A and B are shown apart, each in its own frame.
Chain A
Amino acid sequence: MSNERPQGRILVKLFPSLIGLARRGLAGWAVLIGGVIVAVVAIMTVVSPWISPYNPIAINVGPILSPPSSEFPLGTNHLGQDMLSRVYSGGSIMFQVALLSVIVCLAVGVPIGLFASYAGGYTDKVASLVMDSIYAFPGLVLAIAIAAMLGPGVVNMALSIAVVYVPSYFRIIRSQVLTIKELPYVEAAHMMGARARTTLFNYILPNVIPSIVAVATINFADAILTAAGLTFVGLGLPVSTPDWGWDLTYGRRLLPSGAWWVIAFPGLSVVLLALGFTLMGEGLSELFNPRLQR
Chain B
Amino acid sequence: MSLRSYVIARIMLTIPMIMLLLTFVFLLVRVLPGDPASLHFEKQVDPRMLLEFKRQLGLDKPIEIQYIDYLVGLLRGDFGKSMQDFSPVSQQIFSAFPATLELAICSTIIMILVGVVLGVQSSRSYDSVQDHSIRVFGIASYAIPVFFLGEVMIMIFAIYLHWLPAGDRIHAGMAPTGLTLGGLHWSTGLYTIDSILEGNTSKFIMSLRYLLLPSLTLGTVLCGIFIRLTRGNMLETLQLDFVTAARARGLKERTVVYGYALRNAFLPILTMMGLQFAALLAGAVLTETTFSWPGLGRYLVDRISFRDYTAIQGVVVFFGILVAMVSLAVDIIYAYLDPRIRF
Contact = CB atoms under 8 A, between A and B. Distances in A.
Contact of A149 (B28, B142, B232): B28
Contacts of A63: none
A78 to B, nearest CB: 15
* Interface magnitude class on chain B: 35 or more
Contact of A129 (B17, B24, B289): B17
Contacts of A142: 316
* Interface magnitude class on chain A: 35 or more
A91 to B, nearest CB: 14
B277 to A, nearest CB: 8
Nearest to A294: B232
B289 A263 contact: no
A294 B32 CA distance: 45
B93 to A, nearest CB: 13
A230 B295 CA distance: 18
Given A145-B25, A274-B143, A278-B143, A129 B16 contact: yes
Contacts of A232: 145, 147, 286, 289
Given A141-B281, A144-B300, A255-B151, A130 B140 contact: no
Interface in A121-155: 129-130, 132-133, 136-142, 144-146, 148-150
Nearest to B235: A294
A251 B290 CA distance: 11
Contacts of A248: 145, 147-148, 151
Contacts of B17: 129, 132-133, 136
27 contacts: A136-B17, A136-B278, A138-B278, A138-B281, A140-B285, A141-B281, A144-B304, A145-B312, A148-B309, A149-B39, A221-B143, A232-B289, A233-B286, A233-B304, A248-B147, A255-B151, A255-B159, A256-B159, A258-B160, A263-B152, A263-B155, A264-B152, A274-B143, A274-B145, A278-B139, A279-B139, A293-B232
Nearest to B277: A138
Given A141-B285, A142-B316, A255-B154, A270 B145 contact: yes
A267 interface: yes
B160 A270 contact: no
A50 to B, nearest CB: 28
- Identify which of A130, A142, A149, A255 gathers the most chain B CB atoms within 10 Å of its CB: A149
Contact of B278 (A129, A139, A145): A139
Contacts of B33: 150
B65 interface: no
A225 B145 CA distance: 6
A225 B221 CA distance: 12
A270 B148 contact: yes
Contact of A251 (B151, B283, B285, B289): B151
B282 interface: yes
Interface in A219-276: 221, 225, 228-229, 232-235, 248, 251-252, 255-256, 258, 260, 263-264, 267, 270-271, 274-275
Contacts of B195: none
B324 interface: yes
Contacts of B251: none
